């Protein structure tokens, strides 16, 4: 996730960056933040490589953030736009450039938390990760990289999309609790699958896109079918 902060005051950029860092860590988002002290510099960067989210100050010296947003919308209609401002006087103009939110200064950590909770609900496919301790040290795994995981011999074996296997020593309950994302379904007491890599569910097994079959306990078969249907429906809504 690429995030831009656009504000001509360095202290304001620093304060917002600190707040964003806290929310990114809280939600385990894979994100990089870029700072810009002018709308012109931001637009040049956005044309070269798009941003997913921008925090744009409205009052910046000789520049107007609404005008910067209008220029952005000429070549990027998808970037999530949040105005940071001391006033909502420009609400109508914000509507015209499809602003997602107004963050009124001075904002609080709770304001940022509420905002990011809404962002995650709106875009559940945002890159998220877990950090696990393997025999080779701490590893950060993007959730989309996990095919499935199983627990045996007092270890969790995590099978990844790159064909590699990560082994950690953790209880299955602890590991499952770290996967709060709706894309994961516990198939039994010792197996959890990432539904975004499932091609089908035949009533007894999840069939992954690579052909691997993941068995589901008989008492969880109905829940598995419902969970898979809900996931597919939600994915269609996102796309």
Per-residue pLDDT tens for 97-149? 778 888 888 899 999 999 998 888 776 556 788 888 776 677 888 888 999 99
Q: Please report the pLDDT score of residue 86 as a whole number.
A: 81
In the block, tokens 């009052």 appear at: 59
Q: 191-194 and 198-201 as β-strands: parallel, antiparallel, unpaired?
A: unpaired
Q: Please report the pLDDT score of residue 89 as a whole number.
A: 64
Summarised one tens digit per residue, pLDDT across range 41-85 is 999 999 999 999 999 998 888 888 889 999 999 999 888 999 998
Alpha-carbon gap, residue 39 to 63, rounded angstroms: 7
Q: Given CATH 2.40.50.1020, say whether it is the number of domain 129-238.
A: yes
Provide the token pair at 126: 């945002």
What radius of gyration, in Å, describes the C-alpha atoms of the chain?
A: 21
Q: Distance from CA of residue 181 to its chain's centroid?
A: 10
> Angle between the 109-122 and 10-27 helix axes, to the nearest 10 degrees?
60
Q: Is the overall model pTM greater than 0.75, yes or no?
A: no
Provide the token pair at 143: 């959730």
> Within 13 Å of residue 69, how many CA atoms lie on the same side as its CB?
30
Give the start-to-end residue ranges of the domains of the chain.
2-122, 129-238
Q: Which fold has domain 2-122?
A: Rossmann fold (3.40.50)
Query: Which residues fall within 8 angstroms of residue 148, CB to CB, at 6 or more apart?
Result: 159, 187, 191, 192, 193, 194, 197, 208, 212, 214
């Amino acid at each position: 996730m690429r995030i831009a902060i656009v504000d001509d005051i360095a202290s304001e950029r620093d304060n917002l960056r600190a707040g964003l860092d806290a929310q990114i860590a809280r939600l385990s988002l894979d994100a990089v933040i870029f700072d810009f002290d002018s709308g012109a510099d931001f637009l040049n960067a956005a044309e070269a490589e798009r941003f997913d989210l921008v925090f744009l100050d409205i009052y910046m010296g000789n520049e107007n953030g609404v005008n910067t947003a209008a220029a952005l919308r000429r070549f990027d209609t998808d970037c999530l736009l949040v105005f940071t401002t001391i006033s909502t006087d420009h609400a109508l103009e914000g509507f015209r450039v499809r602003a997602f939110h107004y963050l009124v200064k001075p904002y609080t950590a709770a304001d940022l938390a509420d905002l990011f909770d809404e962002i995650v609900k709106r875009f559940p496919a945002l890159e998220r990760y877990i950090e696990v301790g393997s025999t080779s040290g701490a590893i950060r795994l993007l959730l989309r990289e996990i095919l499935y995981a199983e627990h045996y011999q007092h270890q969790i074996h995590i099978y990844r999309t790159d064909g590699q296997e990560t082994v950690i020593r953790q209880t299955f309950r602890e590991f499952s609790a770290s996967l709060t994302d709706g894309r994961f379904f516990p198939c039994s007491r010792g197996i959890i699958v990432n539904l975004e890599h499932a091609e089908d569910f035949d009533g007894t097994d999840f069939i992954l896109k690579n052909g691997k079959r993941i068995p589901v306990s008989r008492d969880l078969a109905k829940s598995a079918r419902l969970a898979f249907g809900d996931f597919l429906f939600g994915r269609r809504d996102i796309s």
